[in-house]
Amino acid sequence: MWADSTFLHMFDYKVVYGRRADMLNKPNQVVLTESKARAYFGNENPIGQTMEALSRGNLLLTVSGVIEDVPDNTHLKFDMLVSDATFVDRFDYGEWNWNNHYVYLQLQPGTDPADLEPKFDQMIRKYHEVEEGDKLTERWVAMKVSDIHLQSDYTYETEAPGNARSIQVIQIIALFILIIAWVNYINLTTARAVDRAKEVGLR
């Protein structure tokens, strides 16, 4: 996955080897997860080691850091990060038509993400040269990270999202089961109480 140096400041993964400030800030740098580093370099410190990647020709990458493995309960799964500067170096990245990137923003407390979307529209008009009054053919959408798994269903998702409706259906079924169990408990308790009353009456 491509990422710039701010990625590891936005997402506070534990650093195993290297310095966070030195990671992903130059071309041809790579950061590995702990398990991936172990697979390539064993138990030695791999900082400064080079590895070859095949991407439109051979690409030599220098390991600038190792971080902890990514947890399973995340939408953003990767085992290596290649510096975005490498991408800029190798591809024509001067245009604004690369729409398969994710951008993460850290907002001030109390900021409503929806307030950003009109500003996004202004940026699209400016950099895609869309005249005022002309209809936009694309939109940039702000979404909380905590909402991505169940509520995001856009192009170029990093993985298949969950389904909020399925969760709601399961919750409704669980509620019905609880109600049925509660009714059965009341019926059984009432029946036993009646039987007990008869026993007391006979004595």
Contacts of 158-167 with CB under 8 Å at 24 or more apart are: 158/75, 158/76, 158/77, 158/102, 159/75, 159/77, 161/75
In eight-state DSSP terms, residue 27 is T
The pLDDT tens digits of the residues spanning 153-188 come to: 776 666 666 677 777 888 899 999 999 999 999 988
What are 153's two structure tokens?
């269903």
* Structural contact between residues 92 and 11, judged by C-beta atoms closer than 8 angstroms: no
State the pLDDT at residue 70: 92
User: In the block, which residue shows the tokens 């995340």?
Assistant: 74
Residue 195 has pLDDT above 90, yes or no: no
Using CA atoms, how far apart are residues 179 and 73, in angstroms rounded to an integer? 32
In eight-state DSSP terms, residue 179 is H
What are 144's two structure tokens?
């909380």
Plot region of 158 (φ>0 → left; ψ -120 to 50 → alpha; else → beta): alpha
What are 47's two structure tokens?
């900082």
Q: Which SS3 state, helix, strand or coil, does residue 77 take?
A: coil
* Structural contact between residues 49 and 19, judged by C-beta atoms closer than 8 angstroms: no
State the pLDDT at residue 69: 95
Q: What does the pLDDT average to over 20-28?
A: 91
Q: What percent of the chain has pLDDT over 70?
A: 83
The model's confidence at residue 92, banded by pLDDT at 50, 70 and 90, is low
Amino acid, single-letter form, for residue 70: V
Q: What percent of the chain has pLDDT over 90?
A: 32
What are 23's two structure tokens?
């990671």
